[in-house]
Amino acid sequence: MKIGSIDFGSRPVFLAPMEDVTDISFRRMCKHLGADMVYTEFISSDALIRHISKTRLKLEIAGDERPVAIQIYGKDAGAMKEAAQICEEAGPDIIDLNFGCPVKKIAAKGAGAGLLRNIPLMLEIVRMVVDAVKTPVTVKTRLGWDADNQIIVELAEMLQDCGIAALCIHGRTRSQMYTGNADWSLIRKVKENPRIKIPIIGNGDIFSAETCINRFESCGVDAVMIGRGSIGRPWIFREVKHALASGGQLPEEPFSWYLNLLKEQVLQSVEKLDERRGILHSRRHIAATPLFKNIPNFRQTRIDMLRADTVAGLFAIMDKVPSEYFNMPLDYCR
């Protein structure tokens, strides 16, 4: 599969853009573990053109995470155009436009998934950005605003006609947020449309290598994007890539291998930010990880980890995990 001049090979797997998750340290870890492309956190076009320093920091790209996409969102075509030009100066491989974020403070203001209620403006934004930059432009969106307005099949053609290089579809409507099950049937319908020539990337509810392979085979998508399934579990990319290459399950690793990856995430966040903010940033991964699932009487230990405010204190709590789990098989960590 190719996006612009970038050849990803057969059945690539991408890390989805996620606010407060896909910072540079997490992206680099997922890339090291097998992600074929990574995306930045989504970036406000308005904040970017106002030169907000915290927002500008999100444009930082490391050489070892490429190919990497910078994702922007906004509801003003002029601001999106200017923001895309600023992004291009940072040297991403792809510029992605977010028309899928369902969060109320974004969508209710007409940005993100809110643009699913204003298709003419969405298309205007796409055309202006495509014309303004040389970097390939892609779009990430949803099936539609709600169950009565699942417009993605028609919308995909319109977006393609605006010049985008690829389209990522999350298999839910905005109204669903992240509830229920992702519906891949419409993603498959888009892919089967003979008018569609650009790559179609499927997204939604990929929490295992088996599900990822099934989506490739049953829906025919060109690539699969993994979002929440990677939080607290960056090794999912390693599992998926092994399964895609061999058709089998990845050989087991000891529990300590996974635990050390989580520790490395903490250390990288602390190095990037500082001890307090780095630990705060890491808590989402620690809270979401399946690593500690089903360990007896672990509730208080989990609470203690989430309350820890120093690296030494956090790691001391982690190291108290009963020693018998340090030979835990891979299945436990899925």
Radius of gyration of the chain (CA): 20
Indicate which residue of 30, 87, 101, 333 is catalytic. Answer: 101
Domain boundary among 202, 221, 246: 246
Same domain, 183 and 230: yes
- Using one digit for the tens of pLDDT, what is the confidence trace for 310-333? 999 999 999 888 766 665 554 545
Query: How far out from the chain centre does Cα 36 lie?
Result: 12
Cα separation, 93 vs 306, in Å, equals 36
- Beta strand spans in 100-157 (E): 137-142
Mean pLDDT of 253-269: 92
Domain boundary among 215, 246, 277: 246
- Using one digit for the tens of pLDDT, what is the confidence trace for 307-316? 999 999 999 9
Same domain, 90 and 133: yes
Structural domain count of the chain: 2
Coil, helix or strand at residue 108: coil
Catalytic annotation present for 101: yes
Mean pLDDT of 270-278: 92
- List C-alpha distances in Å: 55 to 108, 239, 325: 21, 33, 41
Same domain, 177 and 200: yes
Residue 70 scores a pLDDT above 90: yes
| DSSP symbols for 222-279 | SEEEESGGGTT-TTHHHHHHHHHHHSSPPPP--HHHHHHHHHHHHHHHHHHS-HHHHH
Q: Given this model, what pLDDT does residue 332 score?
A: 45
Domain around 290 = 255-333
**Which of 116, 179, 104 lies closest to 145, judged by CA?**
116
Query: How far out from the chain centre does Cα 180 lie?
Result: 19
Mean pLDDT of 97-107: 96
Q: Given this model, what pLDDT does residue 247 score?
A: 87
Residue 120 scores a pLDDT above 70: yes
Same domain, 109 and 133: yes
Domain boundary among 181, 214, 246: 246
Q: Look up residue 64 and give its DSSP letter.
A: G
Place of tokens 């405010």: 309
Average pLDDT along the chain: 94
Q: Which of 193-197, 253-257, 307-311 has the lowest mean pLDDT?
A: 253-257
Residue 109 scores a pLDDT above 80: yes
Same domain, 216 and 280: no
